[in-house]
Structure 1
Amino acid sequence: MNTHPGQHLLHRGLYAITPDEPDTARLLDRVEVVLGAGATWLQYRHKAAADRLRHEQATALRALCGAYGVPLIINDDWRLAAEIGADGAHLGEDDGELKTARLALGRDAILGASCYDDIALASRAVANGASYVAFGAFFASPTKPHARRAAPALLGDAGALSVPRVAIGGITPDNARPLIDAGADLLAVISGVFDAPDPAAATRAYLACFP
């Protein structure tokens, strides 16, 4: 049976994305709470950090995620992912070629692509080596308030691509279920988890949305 690269891993649940946290020790403490509560994947995202801090934090998160058996995916930077031995990378439309990243990271790496509101972009991403596709924003997002908006029907349309589908953008436990019903395999969340009064409880609330 033919399988897409990186598709052998668990891919249903909460895809937690790190907040911008300059203190590495505090970042690890915050992330460990979410991993302990059952997060499925973790993405390291810190666009404002200098290269040295990004390397330090990504390396530390790699060890922490390894202890919990949770894949670590690096946002935007497949070179950093390769350097620290992360499980994969996630690329936006301006972050480099998926084919190049796939060759560098190997067949088993998780390689994600931001596809926004564009099913054609998703189809091209899979053809170029993506092992999952991400759509959104589905709702207003404090992280990206001006992000283009996607319709839930996109998740169903993307089922034909036979890769995990990630939904992102303003998702809460109260609005997540329609996205899951439409076909979302993973809910990508930053503020809904890390800005919650109780991040562990928030993590469990997202996971409880899955039937």
Structure 2
Amino acid sequence: MNAASPAPRGVYLITPDEADTARLLARTAPLLAAGATWLQYRNKTASDALRLEQATALQALCAGHDVPLIINDDPALAQAVGAAGVHLGGTDGDIPSARALLGPAAIIGASCYDQLANAEKAVAAGASYVAFGAFFPTTTKVTRSRAHTDLLRQTAALGVPRVAIGGLTPDNVGPIIDAGTDLVAVVSGIYAAQDPVATLQAYLARFR
């Protein structure tokens, strides 16, 4: 991301663990068409071969909707499929190595949990955005940190987009957006909803 570019705002959609590639695409395509801002491919249960298959297919789908695809945890996979970038957790490798592999234009994000110091270090190392959470209890993954809106206010001066994640719903996300988050990251809140497209639009409406 270019420092002069406006920060993206909206829904940072994250894929669920889905073994059926065709079904994953069928579930995701309407959400991209409905206005998802970014898509992150994350599948913790897939084999390397399935992850390559799914990431390749999602990259083509995202390109058709002009939506950046971010790969979770795996810079080499991001490079292999031509994704826009990678998201790195606390134990997923270092930002400078990912930047060297993917190039200066790549979007490289970092999980900073509930720590201002993590965000400062990530930005100093070249992160394109920083992610904080969990803000609320979530069933998607085990979380040991609980972020608060003050953290979003404290990081306004870092100069990169801020992502909030963890138990966010259209009903509780208002104060998170008001505190300064640029993107809300959602997995099951959208994919497991009775009407995923309508739910995505409900999140987006909170940014207006």
For Structure 1 versus Structure 2, the TM-score category normalised by the shorter chain is over 0.9
Matched, 1:141 2:116: no
- Is contact 1:5-1:110 (8 Å) kept? no
Q: Give the match for residue 168 of structure 1.
A: 165
Matched, 1:101 2:105: no
Structure 1: gaps spanning 5 or more residues: none
Aligned-pair distance for 1:62? 0.1
Q: Secondary structure at the match of 2:141?
A: coil
Percent identity, aligned pairs only, is 60
Q: Secondary structure at the match of 1:53?
A: helix
Work out the number of aligned pairs and report it.
Answer: 208
Classify 1:10/1:150 alpha carbon distance in 2 versus 1 (closer, same or farther; 3 Å): closer
Q: Secondary structure at the match of 1:101?
A: helix
- Is contact 2:52-2:77 (8 Å) kept? yes
Q: Give the match for residue 84 of structure 1.
A: 81
Name the CA distance, whole Å, in 1 between partners of 2:21 and 2:5.
30
* Structure 1 residue runs of 4 or more that deviate by more than 6 Å after TM superposition: none
Cα RMSD, aligned residues only? 1.3
1:45-60 alignment, distance < 5 Å: 45-60=42-57
Aligned-pair distance for 1:7? 6.8
Q: Give the match for residue 70 of structure 1.
A: 67
2:156 corresponds, among 150, 159, 168, to: 159
Aligned-pair distance for 1:146? 3.5
Classify 1:163/1:135 alpha carbon distance in 2 versus 1 (closer, same or farther; 3 Å): same
Q: Secondary structure at the match of 1:34?
A: helix
Map Cα deviations across residues 102-150 of structure 1 (whole Å, 9 max, x no partner): 1111111110000000011101001111000000000000112433111
Aligned-pair distance for 1:8? 3.3
Matched, 1:177 2:196: no
Q: Secondary structure at the match of 1:38?
A: coil
Q: Secondary structure at the match of 1:46?
A: coil
- The amino acid that maps onto 2:105 is D
Structure 2: gaps spanning 5 or more residues: none
- The amino acid that maps onto 1:71 is P
1:126-137 alignment, distance < 5 Å: 126-137=123-134
Name the TM-score, length of structure 2 as normaliser.
Answer: 0.97
- Is contact 1:5-1:129 (8 Å) kept? no
Q: Give the match for residue 14 of structure 2.
A: 17
- The amino acid that maps onto 1:32 is A
Name the TM-score, length of structure 1 as normaliser.
Answer: 0.95
- The amino acid that maps onto 1:12 is R
- Is contact 1:75-1:89 (8 Å) kept? yes
